[in-house]
Amino acid sequence: MYYSLQVVILLDININKLNQQHLFLLIFWILYCLIHSFLANPGIKRRIETWAGQGFRYYRISYSLFAAVTLAILLWYQFSIRSYPLFHIPLLQYIAGICSLIPGIYIMAVSIHNYFYELSGIQALQHKEQKVTLRQDGMHRFVRHPLYLGTLLFVWGLFLLMPFLSNFIACSVIFIYTLIGIELEEKQLLIEFGDAYKRYSQKVPKLLPGSKIRIKK
């Protein structure tokens, strides 16, 4: 009886510790997204530009490095905590995970390759004018936000292959944040590119290929 009570107490302590770690993980992911959005907000960037003057040309690369480092720390914490699977992986689910993960990696890799030089801030280090252009070629012929599409395919494919609670928390926050981020980015793109983006959005779907009949010229 004594040893059974010890086991129950230890099990309860471990469960509480697991729940606490997952709660921290949820909070950290939400904070990461909020800080990311705050630093990327056009109004905040204008204030920083006013304060920093000529030094603002290094804002984008500083932001990219900060986002990358904090994401690495967050992922390290996520994969270091003990988690538990929400369900077992049948063959069909494993195949679905692979079919989602591989295209996601490919779309992300192509998108990052296309955007990296333009959005990373390296242009500032080379003393070149930083320009953001409206891309309508490549994957942008099929969806307006290919990087977001690749990200969602990747994270949910990873979750199907490793259906742990920690991964589900990360995927859920990323999914909600991505949907909100797309809407905010759409408004900013309309302000920045005006009628050109409006015409583009009428021809090409936002996130799901084939969800809108493309209008021929």
Q: Is residue 131 part of a domain?
A: yes
Q: What's the rounded Cα separation, in Å, for the pair 186 and 203?
A: 15
**pLDDT of amino acid 149:** 92
Q: Is residue 41 part of a domain?
A: yes
Give me the amino acid identity at 143: V
Q: Is residue 146 part of a domain?
A: yes
Number of domains in the chain: 1
Domain that holds residue 112: 2-203
Q: What's the rounded Cα separation, in Å, for the pair 18 and 176?
A: 24
Q: Is residue 211 part of a domain?
A: no
Q: Is residue 52 part of a domain?
A: yes
**pLDDT of amino acid 132:** 65
Q: Is residue 163 part of a domain?
A: yes
User: Mean pLDDT, 10 residues at a time, over the chain (217 residues)?
Assistant: 36 57 92 89 81 76 86 93 84 89 91 69 55 76 90 93 92 93 88 86 85 50
Q: Is residue 208 part of a domain?
A: no
CATH number at residue 177: 1.20.120
**pLDDT of amino acid 197:** 87
Q: Is residue 148 part of a domain?
A: yes
DSSP the chain: -HHHHHHHHHHHHHHHHHHHHHHHHHHHHHHHHHHHHHHH-HHHHHHHHHHHGGGGGGHHHHHHHHHHHHHHHHHHHHHHS---BSS---HHHHHHHHHHHHHHHHHHHHHHHHHHHHHSSHHHHTT---------SGGGGT-S-HHHHHHHHHHHHHHHHS-BHHHHHHHHHHHHHHHHHHHHHHHHHHHHHTHHHHHHHHHS-SSSTTSSPPPP-
Residue 53: left if φ>0, alpha if ψ -120 to 50, beta else—which one?
Answer: left
**pLDDT of amino acid 113:** 77
**pLDDT of amino acid 29:** 95
